[in-house]
């Protein structure tokens, strides 16, 4: 059984006996996983490649539904509702639970239209309101000063780090309650990485954050809670400072001291 620390904060998400099986696979990639996600905190998911951390992350906004034949079991509670329910409105879910990807995914349109994209989907058409919220989102994503004079320019012209912050601006512009980060800095240089990390810490005031990372130092730097996953199971969830200093599980200790992974 996994060692799970008592999460004292309010919960943003509650995973209960969750199982996930990819289309055509015999074995589930995630097995009977139970895990609380604290509200307005940063939860990092670490573990060796193939441990299921990205699979778990992509379950929170039901990204797996884009590809046929994938199978969920158990519960993921969000606002007291099981989001795995067949009746769940995925469009609504994804507006509430946003996602930032490994590689920047700026759309082939202007900087402004990128940020306005999600808001327009929500039905916001008023030009002044859009302008205000685009500016606010870009400011919150710490990229406003760099792009304020090129809002009408193609987003392709921005650097990788700028594009990633643009994607964060686009995601926070729709005011989600949870943001999922899938290795958001693995394609970026160290300076852009530290910029994104600072931004993530800043963002937890308004959203709950789950971040998958290959980089243990990153998990240690930014997160409040860290979950260590191995072979599709949660081995340990602890407060980050405790998990890295005094891990309760032997496997966790071996992983964070670099004995495998």
Partner 1 sequence: MTHTQKRIIANNIVMVLSTTSALIGMGFLFWILSVLIINGVDALSFSIFTNEGAPPGYENSGLKHALIGQFMIVGVATIVGVPFGILAGTYLSEYGQKSKLAETIRDVSDIMMSAPSIVIGAFVYSIVVAPMGHFSGWAGSVALTIIMLPIILRTTDDMLQLVPSTLREAAFALGAPKYKVIMQVVYRGAKVGVLTGILLGIARVAGETAPLLFTSFNDNFLNTDMGEPMASLTVTMYNYATSPYEDWQKLGWAAAFILSMFILSLNIIGRLLIMKRKEK
Exposure pattern of 72-96 as b/e (b: 16+ CB <10 Å)? bebbbbbeeebbbeeebeeeebbbb
Q: Which is nearer to partner 1, 23 or 245 (CB)?
A: 23
Q: Which of 19, 82, 84, 107 binds partner 1 (CB under 8 A)?
A: 107
Interface characters, 54-73, with partner 1 (x: CB under 8 A) = -------x-x--x-------
CB 134 within 8 A of CB 173: yes
Q: Which range in 136-144, 170-178, 213-221, 245-253 contacts partner 1 by CB under 8 A?
A: 170-178
Smallest gap from residue 121 Cβ to partner 1 (A): 5
Q: Which of 44, 51, 99, 210 binds partner 1 (CB under 8 A)?
A: 99
**Options 50, 69, 81, 121; binder of partner 1; rule CB under 8 A:** 121
Q: Which of 14, 105, 186, 194 binds partner 1 (CB under 8 A)?
A: 105
Rounded Cα–Cα distance for residues 105 and 7 (Å): 33
Q: How far is the CB of 63 from partner 1 (least distance, A)?
A: 6
User: Interface with partner 1 by CB under 8 A: which range of 102-110, 200-208, 227-235, 237-245?
Assistant: 102-110
For 231, list phi and psi in degrees, rounded to 5: 50, 45
Phi then psi for residue 13, to 5 deg, are: -140, 155
Tally the residues of the chain: 261
Give the orientation angle of helix 160-173 with respect to helix 190-203, to 10 degrees: 10
Q: Exposure of 152 by Cβ count < 10 A (0-12 exposed, 13-18 middle, 19+ buried)? A: exposed
3-state secondary structure at position 81:
strand
CB of 114 to partner 1, least distance (A): 10
The residue among 172 and 251 lying less far from partner 1, judged by its C-beta, is 172
102 binds partner 1 (CB under 8 A): yes
Nearest approach in angstroms of CB 94 to partner 1 is 4
Asked if 196 interacts with partner 1 (CB under 8 A), we say no
Beta strand ranges found along 47-184 (DSSP E): 71-78, 81-82, 97-100, 178-182
Q: Does residue number 156 form part of the binding site for partner 1 (CB under 8 A)?
A: yes
| 8 A C-beta contact, residue 187 and residue 160 | yes
Chain residues that interact with partner 1, rule: CB under 8 A: 61, 63, 66, 91-95, 98-99, 101-103, 105, 107-109, 117-118, 121-122, 156, 167, 170-171, 174
């Amino acid at each position: 059984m996994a060692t799970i620390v008592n999460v004292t904060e309010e919960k943003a998400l509650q995973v209960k006996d969750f199982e996930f099986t990819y289309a055509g696979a015999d074995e589930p990639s995630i097995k009977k996983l139970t895990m609380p996600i604290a509200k307005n905190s940063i939860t990092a998911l670490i573990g060796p490649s193939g441990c299921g951390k990205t699979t778990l992350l992509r379950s929170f906004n039901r990204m797996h539904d884009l590809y046929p034949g994938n199978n969920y079991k158990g519960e993921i509670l969000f606002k007291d509702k099981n989001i795995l329910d067949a009746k769940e409105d995925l469009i609504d879910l994804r507006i509430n639970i946003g996602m930032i990807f490994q590689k920047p995914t700026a759309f082939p349109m202007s900087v402004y239209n990128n940020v306005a994209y999600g808001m327009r989907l929500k039905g916001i058409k008023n030009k002044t309101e859009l302008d205000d919220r685009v500016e606010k989102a870009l400011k919150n994503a710490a990229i406003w000063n760099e792009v304020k004079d090129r809002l009408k320019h193609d987003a392709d012209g921005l650097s990788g780090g700028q594009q990633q912050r643009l994607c964060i601006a686009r995601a926070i512009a729709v005011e989600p309650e949870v943001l999922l980060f899938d290795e958001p800095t693995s394609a970026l240089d160290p300076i852009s990485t530290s910029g994104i990390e600072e931004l993530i810490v800043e963002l937890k005031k308004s959203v709950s954050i789950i971040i998958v990372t290959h980089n243990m130092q990153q998990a240690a730097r930014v997160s409040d809670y860290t979950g260590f996953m191995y072979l599709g199971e949660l081995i340990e969830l602890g407060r980050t400072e405790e998990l890295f200093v005094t891990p309760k599980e032997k496997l966790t200790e071996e992983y964070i001291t670099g004995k495998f992974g």
